[in-house]
A and B are shown apart, each in its own frame.
Chain A
Amino acid sequence: MTEEETMLADSARGFLDENAPVKQLRDLRDAGKTFDRALWQEMAKMGWAGILVPEDHGGSDMGHAAAGILAREMGKTLVASPFLSSAVIAATALRQVSDSRAQEALSAIASGEVTYALAVDEGPKFSPEKTEMSATRDGNSFRLNGEKTFVVDGALADRLLVLAKTDAGLTLFDLPAGRNGITRNHKGMIDSRDAARITFDNVEATGEDVLGNVDQAMKVLQPALEAGQAALAAEMSGVAAGAFGMTVGYLKERKQFGVLIGQFQALQHRAADLWCHTEVTASAVAHAGRMLDEDPENASLAVSLAKARATDTAKRAVIEGVQMHGGIGMTDDFDMGFYMKRARVAAEWLGDYGYHAEKIAKIRGL
């Protein structure tokens, strides 16, 4: 990490330890909530909501590597916020478009006033190219019909980016979440975060609502997906680091058979192996952020590598986290379960291990 990056990580850590420890997520859950808008406003004031928004539009424009650093810090304490959906994915999509409406939307994101969610999935697995939801021509406008699943941050978002099939390809729509015909079903998710199933019943969309060009969604969506995947990988590396930190701490304080359990070589070697795993993944995550900043046209391999590795590492870290804590790791009173559940949700979002492994295989000719 550069000196600037270390400073960013340290200042984020300071803020999050104070304002968003794991207990904050627990309190939200116990209160039946998924998101704290006041906290998001605070983050926006610090420039986090506008981290990928140009300075002209009120953003801090720090780039993808910096976004990854924030995401990783948020992951360490499981911060529930629309950072990925709005500040990373939607902002990146909007940046691909130069019209004034997109510019205004970027300003609204940076200020924290407007949040976005990405509605792509239609089944249990991420696969945007297989989108079936239709947007059929109706005079000068479109009619959207279908159902989107696992719309992360979708129940509370102000706007939705919706992928639908048009005459000769896929088109990305930018719609207010309250438009007629949109029904949002908030689902109680295992990670206590916001996600919804959303149905579209003859929803009207005009040319104004199209982000980029009709039939060419991927031009706008692919950079947004890659930005989101890289930042999600960073968050997951933070989830792994958070779980791992708790686990190593426990090995140093829990006594059994009259000794600290961290003295047992069986546990030492497993912990050491896990640390090696987290370090290797951290390299892939940092590389993805750098590639998105420096050579975005050629970042696909780096991004998929980061998401695949982070998925694998986070899974290992939470499984070992529960196992090494023993019975207490299974209790709801203890935080490890929150890490395990977030790791599982993040594993599926924006493509699971298999999805990204297959992308890597294609690029590498396997």
Chain B
Amino acid sequence: MAQMAQDQSAFRMELRSWLEANCPAEMRDGNSSRDHTCWGGRNWVFESEAQETWLNRCIEKGFTVPTWPKAYGGAGMNRAEEKIWHEELARIEARRPLDSFGIWMLGPALLHFGTEEQKKKYLLPIARGEIRWCQGYSEPGAGSDLASVQTKCEDKGDHWLVNGQKIWTSYADKADAIFALVRSDREAKKHLGITFLLIDMETPGVSTRPIKLISGMSPFCETFFDNVEVPKEDEDGISSVVGTINRGWDVAKYLLTHERSMISAIGSGTGGMRPLAQVLTDDGAELDPILRAAAIKAEIDSLATGLTLERYKDMAEAGQGVGDASAMLKYVGTELNKDRHELMMAASGSDALEWDGPYGSRPADWLRTKANSIEGGTSEVMLSIVSRRVLGLPG
């Protein structure tokens, strides 16, 4: 134990001095909000030289994907080390060097289901921020009932022919490629006829249309596939299907579990967010007793939820199955995040009612949070999962 603690403290000191020397001052403003996120991709334009420098220095050390194996662009950190990395970033309020759906979603799917060739081909560009992926799951007729996706995928010998429509595709209009759930067998039972397919957005027949949301922002798109020909293999013989044909639901389920634990982080104050107490009081706002009581309760629930997230990560690290409990993390975390933003709006009163008022994006952020308990599976779907799979209540 003592040896481990010592090793960890040496690791922390090493990171700390590296960060001190390598994180540009402009990147230490604690601002990882959407406006300042570094997404990477073929057409990425850095907002500043500092952003580019910061990314490049992190790429060199594998810090964009700290827990991935070094062979795929990561730093090979274990869970304890990753925690230290995040703590040290937070200590100097450093921005995350790179965010992307490749890091959050596709990477974990490939690490779990991909062939060695696929890992080599796809993971490195994700780690280096050279490609920007988006996720093609939902369809107009397949929301909560995701397994009923209808986007058609036909076997045409050397290629797949894809026709159909996706919706709520985050940043599809800015993405270079999409990982999509498509219907490859219309006869099979709905969970057994789905394939997890990788499609380049520049392929003829792919088009996107941003959807304007209540926040005024358009983070989501409709994505259309009109006779899109997806090569089955690239010139090196690497397949465009992740996992087994017709068993894409296994990949999707794995990723949903992953996505749910990730989304849950946002409400718990562990995702690099400032504590609610600090947000509310830094603004100098006077909280009336009723608002204050609600804020204290939200703070208590946030702290306890953060501890729960840590506990489940530890369990996962120890090889204990977390699986269906991720539905709990997602449900609790997102409901809490909605509360948090309701409180922030209430605390700032009419000043937060102007789109570009003294609180900047606060009203738009507040509206955005309403999607948290819908995207990645609604709160109601999460409760049904807990009820059936965790509690074993009859279906």
Contacts and interface: CB of A to CB of B under 8 A. Distances in A.
Given A260-B394, A360-B296, A366-B292, A280 B301 contact: yes
Interface string A252-263: 100000001011
B284 interface: no
Contacts, number: 101
A20 to B, nearest CB: 26
B393 A279 contact: no
Given A263-B394, A269-B380, A365-B277, A279 B308 contact: yes
Contact of B311 (A269, A283, A301, A365): A283
Interface in A132-160: none
Interface stretch (B208-216, B236-244, B381-389): B381-389
A284 B304 contact: yes
Secondary structure of the A contact surface, majority rule = helix
A364 B382 CA distance: 31
A281 interface: yes
A205 B386 CA distance: 57
B278 interface: yes
Interface string B259-300: 000000000000000010110110000010000110111011
Interface stretch (B58-66, B221-229, B325-333, B358-366): B325-333
A257 B308 CA distance: 38
A268 B390 contact: no
Interface in A251-300: 251-252, 260, 262-263, 265, 268-269, 271-273, 275-276, 279-284, 286-287
B280 A357 contact: no
B227 to A, nearest CB: 41
A248 interface: yes
Contacts of A13: none
A271 B328 CA distance: 12
Contact of A252 (B308, B390, B392): B392
A361 B276 CA distance: 11
Contacts of B308: 279-280, 282-283
A296 B90 CA distance: 25
Contacts of A283: 304, 307-308, 310-311
A309 interface: yes
B390 A275 contact: yes
B303 interface: yes
B386 A357 contact: no
Contacts of B395: 263
Contacts of A51: none
B21 interface: no
Nearest to A269: B383
Interface size class of chain A, counting residues whose CB lies under 8 Å from the partner chain: 20 to 34
Nearest to B328: A276
B235 to A, nearest CB: 49
B278 A365 contact: yes
Contact of B275 (A273, A284, A286, A364): A364
A268 B384 contact: yes
B76 to A, nearest CB: 25
A305 interface: yes
A305 B300 contact: yes
A366 B387 contact: no
B305 interface: yes
A308 interface: yes
A347 to B, nearest CB: 15
Contacts of B278: 365
Contact of A276 (B287, B303, B386): B386
A365 B390 contact: no
A117 B294 CA distance: 35
A366 B280 contact: yes
Nearest to B304: A284
A366 B278 CA distance: 8
Interface of A: 248, 251-252, 260, 262-263, 265, 268-269, 271-273, 275-276, 279-284, 286-287, 301, 305, 308-309, 357-358, 360-361, 364-366
Given A252-B392, A260-B394, A357-B296, 10 more contacts: A248-B392, A251-B393, A269-B384, A272-B386, A275-B391, A276-B328, A280-B305, A358-B296, A365-B281, A366-B280
In the A-B complex, the 10 residue pairs with the smallest Cβ-Cβ separation, listed nearest first, are A268-B387, A272-B386, A283-B308, A283-B307, A364-B277, A272-B383, A262-B393, A272-B387, A284-B304, A366-B277
Interface of B: 275, 277-278, 280-281, 287, 292-293, 295-297, 299-301, 303-305, 307-308, 310-311, 325, 328, 331-332, 380, 382-384, 386-388, 390-395
12 contacts: A252-B393, A268-B383, A269-B380, A271-B387, A275-B386, A275-B390, A279-B328, A280-B301, A283-B304, A283-B308, A305-B303, A357-B293
